[in-house]
């Protein structure tokens, strides 16, 4: 099996939305809204890509995994950090190293831009994701995530 990790393209959006559908179906804080997810991916892909990273894993010309990252400026670090989101590998392709390959590609993108720290959010109930992050060296922090949302 030939696994390719590459930058996402506009033609990948439908497959990526399907991956997000599967991800958001198991995360309590998010709902599946294909139109919103498509719009968000379009915004990321239309940008200059200096501050955003959208990677896909491709097997036999099919997108089977994805991960995104965006930079932020951290006063604690005195420079750039990046938030990883949307890490997802389709169920039949898990435990093949694809998630690790996606994370490595995102980490390379971040290092190349001078990012000093990566962080991500994971659903507490997503034990397989938490186990994956633990296996590849991620550590929990004392921080919690809070949010406030409103309709425009």
Domain parsing of the chain, residue ranges: 3-135
Torsions phi, psi for 42 (to 5 deg)? -60, -45
Q: Are 46 and 2 in contact (CB under 8 A)?
A: no
What's the confidence (pLDDT) of residue 88?
Answer: 98
pTM for this prediction: 0.93
Q: Quote the CA–CA distance of 140 and 121 in Å, as a whole number.
A: 10
Superfamily of domain 3-135 in the CATH hierarchy: Gcn5-related N-acetyltransferase (GNAT) (3.40.630.30)
Q: Which residue has the tokens 């590459």?
A: 6
What's the confidence (pLDDT) of residue 28?
Answer: 85
Beta bridge partners of 50: none
For residue 138, the Cα-to-chain-centroid distance in whole angstroms is 15
Q: Quote the CA–CA distance of 124 and 132 in Å, as a whole number.
A: 13
Chunked into runs of 10 residues, the chain (152 residues) has average pLDDT values of 96 97 91 94 88 97 98 97 98 97 98 97 93 96 92 85
């Amino acid at each position: 099996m030939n696994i390719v990790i590459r930058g996402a393209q506009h033609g990948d959006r439908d497959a990526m939305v399907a991956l997000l559908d599967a991800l958001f179906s198991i995360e309590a804080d998010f709902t599946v809204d294909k139109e919103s997810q498509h719009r968000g991916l379009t915004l990321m892909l239309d940008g200059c890509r200096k501050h955003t990273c959208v990677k896909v894993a491709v097997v036999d010309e099919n997108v089977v995994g994805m991960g995104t990252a965006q930079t932020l400026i951290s006063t604690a670090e005195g420079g750039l950090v990046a938030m990883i989101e949307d890490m997802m590998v389709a169920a039949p392709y898990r435990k093949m190293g694809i998630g690790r390959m996606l994370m490595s590609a995102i980490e390379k993108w971040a290092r190349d831009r001078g990012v000093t720290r990566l962080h991500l959010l994971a659903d507490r109930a997503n034990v397989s994701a938490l186990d994956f992050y633990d296996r590849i060296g991620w550590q929990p922090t004392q921080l919690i995530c809070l949010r406030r949302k409103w309709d425009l």
